[in-house]
Structure 1
Amino acid sequence: MAALALFGGIGLSEQKAKETLKNEALSGLLAQAIQQAQDICGSTLDKATGTLLYNAATRLKDQRRLGFLVNYIANKGVSSDLQLNASLDYIKNHPVDPIDTEDFERECGIGVVVTPEQIEEVVEATISKYRNQIMLDRYRFNMGLLMGEARNELKWADGKIIKNEVDLQVLNLLGPKTEADLEKKAKAPKQKAATETTEDKKESEVNGELHIAFERLVGAGSARGGESTNNVPPATATATAPPLMIPSVSLQPTQVSVPNFPADESKGFHTVPITSTIYIEQSDFREVTEKGYKRLTLEQSVGLRHAGYVISVQRVLRNKNGKLVELEATCRKSDMAEKPKAFIHWVSNPLMCELRLYERLFLHKSPEDPSEVPGGFLSDINPNSLVVLGDAMLDVSVRTAKPFDKFQFERVGYFSLDPDSTEQKLVFNRTVMLREDPGKI
C-alpha cells in the first residue's frame, strides 16, 4: 500500500503506520504533510523531520494551518520539540488570519539552533560569575540559579542538556561530594576547592601511543546496584554512544579505582581495567577545534576521567571509504601534563551489551482526552517510544549483575538489567531518562 510505504519513509514502524491508517482523518493529514515536505526537501525525509511532521499532524487542532507549519518544518526553521511546542501554542492563541510571520518567527525561535559548544560556553560563564560563592558553599549552592541564568541566555536549548552540562562542570570544579557536603546543616562549612588529582596511580610508562576507533559504547565509570530514592540514586556508570577506540603500545595494563556513587564515596569503590585499548565517545572527538569545544581534537588534549591520564591525538586513520575509524594518540600521566580543559568518559576491555531506550508511550499527557487526541489513544502512540542499541559497550564491573539490578549510566539515564540477558550479552532497559526524577520510579 502506497500510504504504508509513505509513513514508513518518515520512520514509523509498520505497526504504527497501520494504526495510523485506521484513523482516516489523521492519515489524510499526515500524508498531506509528508507530500508537502517532500516537495520542498525531496522524496527522502530524515527521521527527525518525520517525527516533527507526525507530531504536527496529530497535535495541531487548527488543520487550516498545517501547511503553514509544515513549511517551517521542511525548511528546518522548526527543528526541535521546543520550537514545535511553541509554534503549536502560538497558532492556538492566534486563530485569526493572517498570522504575523515576523512575530511568529521571533516568538517561536524559528531557525535558532543551539550547539553543545554554546551551552558549554554559557554554563562556563555562568559558573565563573558565581565561582567564589560556589567554592564557599560547594554543593549547598543553589544550582537552580545556574540553570535559570543559562536558560535565560539559551531559551531554545534543551533543558536536560543544560542541566547535564551544569552538573558536569560543577563536578569538575568541586570534585565528588564529601561527607561534609552530604550533612544536613543550615550552613555548610567552608571547603577548599577540590583539585584534579590522579586516582590510583600505577607504575606504568609515562608516555603511551594510542589508537582510537569508532564503535558504539556505554562506558567508563562502572556500575553498582543501588536503591532509587531522591537522595540515593542508583550507582553510576559512564555511558557514551557511539565511541572511539584507543589502544596503547607502551601503556601497561592496570586497574583504575572508581567510586560506586560519585556523590557519596563512602559507599565504596570498584576497579575497572585500563589496557592497551580504550574506547571513548565519538562525539568527544572533532578534527577541527571550534570555539567553545573543549574535548579532544587534533590540537587539543583531554583527560580520561578517573584514570589519571591525558591523551593527545597524533594521527587520524580512515577506512577505504574515507570513514574515520581510528586515531593514533599519545598518553601521559596527568601530573606530568598541562591540565586539560575537559575530562571525558571511557571504557577498556568492555562488555558488549544491548540497551533498550524507552521514551514516553504517548505524545500527549492525556491521550484518552478526545479534545486533545480526536483520533483516540492508539493514534497518539509515540513512534520513537523504543530505540534499541544492539552493539553498546559497558565496563566489566557489571558482569555479575542480576536481573532487575539498577544502575545509572552517565549521560544516558537509569537502567535495570533485563531477564533476557545471557552470559554472552547483557540487556539493560532504560527506566528513567536523565531529565526525569529517578526518585519517582
Structure 2
Amino acid sequence: MATSTDNEARVALFQSIGLNEQKARETLKNQEVTRVLEATINEARKFLPKENQISKPIGNLLYALSTRSKQQIYKLHGHLIKCICEEKIKNELQLLAAIEYLLSNPVEPVDLKALEEYAGIGVTVTPAEIERAVESVIEQNKTKLLEQRYSFPIGTLLSEVRKQLKWADGKAVKAEMDVQLLDLLGPNDRSANNAAEKPKAAPATEKAKPTTTTNANSDVQENGQVRSFADLVGAALNFHKPGENYKTEGYVMTPKTMELMKEHLKQTGGQVVTRFPPEPNGILHIGHAKAINFNFGYAKLNNGICYLRYDDTNPEKEEEKFFTGILDIVKWLGYEPYKITHASDQFDQLYEWAKELIRRDLAYVCHQKGDELKGHNVAESPWRNRPIEESLQLFEDMKNGKFAEGEATLRMKCVMEDGKLDPVAYRIKYAHHAKTGDKWCIYPTYDYTHCLNDSIENISHSLCTKEFQARRSSYYWLCNALDVYCPVQWEYGRLNLHYTVTSKRKIAKLITEGIVNDWDDPRLYTLTALRRRGFPPEAINLFCARIGVTMSQTILHPDMLDACVREVLNVTAPRIMAVMEPLKVTITNFPSTGVTELTVPNFPADESRGSHKIKFDSVIYIEKSDFTENPAKDYKRLAPNQPCGLRHANCVLTVQEIIRDANNEPIELKVTCAKVTDEGVTKPKGYIHWVSHGNKCEIRLYDRLFLHQNPDDKKEVPGGFLSDINSKSLTIHSDALVDDGIKNAKHFDKFQFERIGFFSVDPDSTNDHMSSSREIIKENHNHNIDDNTDSIKDEQVRRDIRVLSARLTDLKERFMNIVQKINEDAVGYVDQISDEDDASAEGSNDETTVNQEDNDSNEASNTDDDSEEDQTNKSPMRIRMSQLMIESIIDRQARHNGYLQHLPQYPKIMQYLVSNKPSRTKISLRHIDPFIKEHVDENPNEKIYEKISKEIQVIRRKYLKNRK
C-alpha cells in the first residue's frame, strides 16, 4: 500500500513532465498507469543530461506511451523512450505507429531499422511542405468548396493531405487548412451554410404500393428469412486477426510464442476458428442461443469454422439424450458444426500433460478436502512443495484407483485472476463415462481442460461469457507453462430473461416437483421448450442479433423476444379461424340448402400467397365472449340489439332468440343473416371470427411461469423460486374448434388464429387428437375492436411501447458501458480551456460531427478543443459531457414521441444542453468514438435509434387514428 509520502513524490514526478497537479493526482487512481508512467520517466532520465528537465512535448509523448501501449511490449519500451528523448519521435502519430510495429513484432532483438522505417522515426515535415499539400488539395476541390462552403466535409480534405504527408503533425495540418479555407471562403457564415444545405424540393412521385412487411427497414423478409447475426452484429466485433493474438490486451508472451504462432497459422491457413463447448448435462436455454449465434456467426462472418465440442468432463450428470439434444438444437438454429468433438477425445493427451506439469514443478498432489478449498482466502496447501517424484507416483496412484473420492486432487501452481490459489486440475470420480466408459477414475476440471482443448483444436478466438473472465489468467498460464499454442480468450455478457430460471439444477427441481412436465415444457425458456411452444429459430437468431454482444450482464424483458417472434410469424404464419370456447349459432334463414365452401386467403394482405377452403353452414360456432346481453357503450360485437359481421362470409348476423341452460346461461343463439351488400343493410360496427364443421382441437394457453421478474431474488421472493409459481400459467381449452386450414398440418406448423394469437401444432398431436400451443398473443388481440380496420387500442400501444422501451433501455446500457470503459481508462484532468482553443472549437464545429468521415485520421483527434497532451485520456469534465450527450439522445427520443413519457426523464441534462454550446456536445461524443466502435453493434451516432424511432412513429400514427 502506497503511503501519502510516496504519492506526493509521484505527483511531483508526474508534474516534472508537464502534467498539472490535478492530472497528476488523477493519474494515481489508476495503479497500472501509475506504475508504467513512473518506470517510463525513470528510464527517460537515463537518456537526458542530468541538468536537463523533461520538456513538455517529450513529457506528452512519454505519457502517451504509458497509456496507449500494451502489457506485452512493456519490456520493449526502452527503444521508444530513447527515440522520444532524442526527438526522433516527434509526434503522437509516429509514436502510435511505433507501438503498432512492436505489437506486431513483440520479440527481441528489435529490428531498429525496420521500426524507424515503419513509424517514420526521424522524418520531419516542414511547414512549407504542409502549406503546399493543403493548397494542392483545396485546389482540387475548389469548385465544390465554393458551392457548399463550410457544409463541405472538411474531413475528406484532411484525409487527402494525410495521404501526401503521412507523418505531418495533425494539429499543424488542421491549422493550415483553417487558414486557407478562411482565405478562400471568408468567415463561417451559418446562414449561408444553411442555404447551401437546404435540399431542393423533390418531384412528386407515385404513392408506394403497400407490402406485407411492417416497415421498409425490417430485418425480416417476406419469406421469413432474417438478417443474420453476422450482418447485424459483425461490424462491431473488433477482434484480433488470426495469428495476431499478441496484439490483444493482457495476452502473455513467452520466448516460444511467435514460433508456436507460426505453426498455428500453418495448420489453420489463417482461418478464424471458434468453438461452442456446452456441457452435456442438460438442455440448452435462451442464453446458449446467444453463445451459439456468437461462435458460429463470427466464424461465418470471417469465412471460418466452428467446432461443436462437448465438455464431457463431469461423468455423473451426462446423458446421451443431452448429447443428441444439443446437436439437434444447434442444427435447428441453422448452424452446421465443422466437426463434433469431445473433451474426452483428448483425455490421454491431457493426462500426459498433467504429468509434464508435475515434472516442471508446476503441479502437485494435494489432500485438502473440498470444503478447505472453497473461497478465495485459502491457505497455501501443506503439500505444495512435496517432491516431484512423490507427486508423480501419487498421481499415478490416483489414476489406478488407490484413493477414494475426495482424498486427493492434482492442483496447479498458479493464482487465478480473482485471487484464487492453485486451482484443481484433476479430481477422483468413480463414475461411468458416457463415452470412455470405465477407463478413467480421474477426470480433468474445466480450468485444466478448456484451454488445452482450445489449443489442440487451434482455436483462434475462445469466446466465453463474462463469469469466465477470472479464469483468463490461468488459461494463459497453463498453455504457456506447457509451451503449447495459446489462443485468445474473449469474454462477453451472458443473456438472461426476466420471469424465468435457466439453472439446470432449478429446472430439474421444477420437473421433479411436477410444476412443469419436462425440459421442453413451453413455459420454460430452454430452447427445446421454445421450439415446442412454436418460436421459429429465425426469431431467436434475430433476437440474439439485436441485443448484440457487450460486456454487460444483460437481463431483458421477455417482450423483446416476443416482438421478434411476432415479427417473423407475421409474414410466415397462415391465418385461420379458431374458436376456443364455442357458442352455437343457428342461422334460421341460411340462404343455401347445403354446405357452402368459402375461399379464404392465407395472408389477407397478400392474396397471391395462397388460400384454403372453409365450410359455411346454417350452424356455426362463435366465441362465447363475442356475445353479450349487456353491451358497453363502445361494444362492437354481437348483442341482442346490435348486429355483427362474420369474417370472410360477407354477411351480418342479427339475434332473434337466445336459448339458455338450467343456469340461465346462453347455450345457443338463433339468428338471421343478410349480405353486407344488400340494400338497406347497415354496415356492422365489428366483425367476429367463427367456425363451421370445425376440427376439434385442444388449445393450450401459456402464461409466465413466475409471478415476479426475478424469482431467484431473495428480496423479491423470500420463499425462493418454487414459492413464486403462477398457478394460471397454463390454461387448456379441450373443446376448441379450428377451421379446415389446419388439416394435414404437421408437428410444429405455425398458424395465426385470427383475433387470438399465433399457435403451433404440438408434437404430441395425433390424427385423432390435435393439440396446439399458443406462442404469443397476436399484436391486435383485443376483441373490442373492429378487425376490418387498423385501429389499435391503448392496451396494444402500451405493449408495443414496453418492447421498444426495453430495447431503448438495452441501448442505453450499452452506451453506459462505454462511458464506464472511459472512466476506467481515464486518468484525465480538468484544465481551463483557453480562449484560443475555444475559438478553434467554435470555428470548426461544422466539421466536428459525430459521423465525420475522418474519425480514424490523426487530424480528427487534433481538431477538438483539448490540449495536445490530452488526446488519450479524457478529463472528468469531458467524460461527464459524454455521459450527458448519450443520455440526451435517449431523452430526446422519449420527448419527441410522447408515448415514451414513462421512461426516466433527465431534467438536469436538458438544463445542461440549454446552457452549453451544441458544438461542444458534438465534440464530446466524438471522444468516445473508438469505444462505440469497439462495443456497440451499430454506427457511433444517432442512427442506432432510427429503426426504433420509425417503429414508434408507426405506433403513434395508429394510436392517433384510433383516438380520432
TM-score normalized by structure 2? 0.22
Q: Select the structure that is richer in helix.
A: 2
Pair member with larger Rg:
2
Which of the pair has the greater relative contact order for Cα pairs under 8 Å at 6+ separation? 1
TM-score normalized by structure 1? 0.46
